[in-house]
Amino acid sequence: MNEAKIRDQLQEAIGEANYPPALTTHVQARFREQLSQGHPHAIGIIAALLALAVVSGLVFTRIQLGHISQPATPISSRPAVSATSKPVNPNEVIPGTDLEGANLGNAAALVTRLNLVANDGDADITLFGAYADHARTVLFFRTVRGSVQLVNTRISDQQGWLNSASSGGSAVQGDTVFILWSGPRSGADGVAHLAVTLYGYVNYAFDLKVQPSIAVQMSPPLTSLGPLKFNSAAVEVTPSVIYFHAVTDQVSESDKGQLSIDLLDASGHSLQTIWGGAGIIDPTRIGGNQPWGWESVWSRPAAAQTYQLQITIHGSGYRTQVVVDASVP
């Protein structure tokens, strides 16, 4: 298969990629400059392999970027299915394994019970619980198939799609825990109107209370640290997590991955994060200053605790106290 056919099949599968058509030709030419003129067959084989490698790399990159910056799109030609709301059995509880998998063991009473049932054409998928605060949105699914494949999962609120990373949590057989690391935007009443789509065609709609958070006063304010200039920095305590988030000016290549964010207990031990990340806030923005976002999330303890938030980079350090009250059962 030559380069033209590879590009044609690539375009047919995922759309037009924005890369120079002469890219692989240029790479092949550069490689030929290093080879002896006495091995034409070797040159041809290596050039073909290079073409495949470059195009394969572009496929991977395009798919990854699409996951970050583009809304989910249907992956099935099946007609749209809307879930039916059924009465919630007051005697049923969300399994403890599911709650612990979502780091909601200390906030179980704040999980909203649902009974939204949709059939994807193969089996019923029930959305039977949900929780949200400023840091994340958690959904609990159940199916007789064993688990729900969380591909092409999309959550929107009344203002639009929630574009964020996601993960799963441990659950009992038949249940699936989905965590979106972004909280929905609520109205003045503290309630968000959510629309959830699985597989591009299975739809759920419901209202969900967004649990409030307590802002921790960072003293002194974090405005700069080493080479980083902070546009914003905040610590929030929600009913289930401790959440640090910040935005800095564009980060140089040498500084990426160098910022250390730790929450230290009284003995100086660093708590394990349940989520953390850093990256460009708007991947679609081109040129100019690219603001960089930083996030770290820790599970909130049930008992009252006092911690130290420690942030370091290249030998420069910052500390502030984080006081967490006992969680309300």
- Produce one character per residue of 35-51: b if its CB has 16 or more CB atoms within 10 Å, e if not: eeeeeeeebeeebbebb
Residues 6+ apart with CB under 8 A from 328: 239
* 96 to 87, 138, 142, 253: CA distances (angstroms): 22, 15, 15, 43
Q: Are 211 and 110 in contact (CB under 8 A)?
A: yes
Banded pLDDT at 20 (limits 50, 70, 90): very low
Banded pLDDT at 78 (limits 50, 70, 90): confident
Number of helices (H) and strands (E) in the chain: give both, helices first.
Answer: 4, 20
Lowest-pLDDT range of 68-77, 232-241, 269-278: 68-77
Tens digits of residue pLDDT in 41-54: 444 444 444 444 43
- pLDDT of residue 135 exceeding 90: yes
Please, what are the domains in the chain?
A: 3-69 (no CATH), 81-209 (2.60.40), 214-324 (2.60.40.10)
What is the structure's pLDDT at 329? 57
- pLDDT of residue 117 exceeding 70: yes
Tens digits of residue pLDDT in 199-226: 999 999 999 999 999 999 999 999 999 9
Q: Could you give the percent of the chain with pLDDT greater than 70? A: 76
Cα radius of gyration rounded to whole Å, the chain: 24
DSSP string, 13-29: HH----S-TTHHHHHHH
Q: Are 251 and 292 in contact (CB under 8 A)?
A: yes
* 20 to 2, 6, 27, 59, 238: CA distances (angstroms): 17, 14, 12, 14, 47
Tens digits of residue pLDDT in 258-276: 999 999 999 999 999 999 9
The pTM of this model reads 0.75
Encoded amino acid at 274, one letter: I
Burial label for 319, CB within 10 Å (0-12, 13-18, 19+), is middle
As a dihedral over the C-alpha atoms of residue 90, residue 92, residue 94, residue 97, rounded to 10 degrees, the angle is: 160
Tens digits of residue pLDDT in 85-110: 999 999 999 999 999 999 999 999 99
- pLDDT of residue 307 exceeding 50: yes
